[in-house]
Amino acid sequence: MSSDLSSEIMMKELDKRVEEMGAKIEARFSAKLTSLQEEVKELREELRASKAVNTQTFKCSKGWRAMFQAGGLITPALAALGFMRQSEKLLWTARSFNNFSMACTLLACGANPKNFGSWKEKAYMVTSISIYYLSVYTYGLGLSRADDDAAVKSGKMIIMMAIFGMLVALPGILTLVKLFSKLSDAKLSSVVLSIFQSAASFLGSLLYLQSSSFRCISQSDEKLGSIVDQCGNPMQPATVVSAYLIVAWAMRYAIAPLTHASNQLSWKDVMDLRMSKMQFTQGALFSTLTLIALVIFANTNENGAEYDHFLQLLVSGFYIVFFSYLTLLFCEFGFRQLFCKHTTTTTDDDTRGRDNSGAFGLHEEGMSSGMI
């Protein structure tokens, strides 16, 4: 009886010791497993961060920048050649490729925003933009000396626009690139990549629009009348539609990334019209601008026709709305970005939110006030 009791006690002690040893072994291996899992997690995070750094890009190569700069020199070359030869055809051709050259110049100037602090980079941008506007002044001056009254009137208007561009657009472009240089590395890399990806289709559209004007000008005959009478349409419509494309492209890829998160709208806000008066006015103006541009494009005659009164009315209305929209954008965006504390406050979450956004940066989480 006593032996059975003692053996039972020994069995219980053995079971207890086995359980204790099992618990110790389990705790030891569990701690080791947890430690290994944490190490693996840290290694994965380091690998992810390393991949992110390796895939970030802050500038285009010198080769791409040279190609953009070459496109920007088309108008200066044609303007200089036309002015020296006093060739009205070359001067009008320079005007036809004006917006294409401007877009290429902008891409070249913004190809390395990370290096904005360098005096060489600033000198390059100032020189490139100055050459472009000097060429605009040159072909405007050449047209103002032509025998055709319409060419003289256009030339004087172009001279005024060139002076305005030097005084306003030059510092505006420099300020825009400066704001880009202040973005976080992840944000700047995303912006530079999206701009580069959009460049081909954007420049191709501009080149297609303005090549129709070139074809008409090259086939015009002085005996049949002035170039304006023969090619006013498509010259004016192509210029207007290409200007619209530049603004729409800039709003999507240049302005949206700089907009502060507090100034965004969601799809629901747009559908319910929950927005400020400034945002509503900008949306109405841009919608009107889009409608007028579509009507003008629909009335474009690529074979060449007279610049009739209906087109003149449409183009005049377009420019009124166009400059009103730009003025509102400058008041809403320019002053806030330059003088408010949250000038370029953006987060990586904002970047990821816009990577899969729709037109003009509108997505589920929000969009900028000027992007409607």
CA distance 280 to 286: 10
Q: Which two tokens stand for residue 15?
A: 């079971």
Please state which of the ranges 158-167, 276-285, 358-367 shows the lowest mean pLDDT. 358-367
Cα-Cα-Cα-Cα torsion 117, 119, 123, 125, nearest 10 degrees, comes to -10
Q: What is the pLDDT of residue 56?
A: 65
The HSE-up count of residue 86 (CA atoms within 13 Å, CB side) is: 3
The pLDDT tens digits of the residues spanning 106-131 come to: 999 888 887 877 888 889 999 999 99
Phi, psi of 233 (to 5 degrees): -115, 105
The pLDDT tens digits of the residues spanning 49-94 come to: 555 444 566 677 888 889 999 999 999 999 999 999 989 999 999 9
Query: Which carries the bigger pLDDT value, residue 108 or residue 40?
Result: 108
Q: What is the pLDDT of residue 184?
A: 80
CA distance 185 to 183: 6
Q: Of the candidates 75, 215, 53, which has an alpha carbon nearest to the alpha carbon of residue 158?
A: 75
Q: Which two tokens stand for residue 370?
A: 């000027």
Q: How much is the pTM? A: 0.74
Please state which of the ranges 133-137, 219-223, 310-314, 335-339 shows the lowest mean pLDDT. 335-339
In Å, what is the CA distance from 131 to each residue of 75, 101, 103, 166?
A: 10, 11, 14, 10
Average pLDDT, the chain: 80
Q: What is the pLDDT of residue 359?
A: 42
Q: Which two tokens stand for residue 208?
A: 């297609």
Q: What is the pLDDT of residue 272?
A: 78
Q: What is the pLDDT of residue 175?
A: 80
* 104 within 8 A of 129, measured Cβ to Cβ: no
Q: Which two tokens stand for residue 269?
A: 């806000």
The pLDDT tens digits of the residues spanning 132-166 come to: 999 999 999 999 998 888 889 889 999 998 998 88
Cα-Cα-Cα-Cα torsion 295, 102, 109, 345, nearest 10 degrees, comes to -30
Question: Does residue 218 come out as left (phi exceeding 0), alpha (psi in the -120 to 50 range) or beta?
Answer: alpha
Q: Among residues of the chain, what percentage have pLDDT more than 90?
A: 33
DSSP per residue over 206-267, as a string?
HHHHHHHHHHHHHH--GGG--HHHHHHHHHHHHHHHHHHHHHHHHIIIIIGGGS-GGGB--H
Q: What is the pLDDT of residue 273?
A: 79
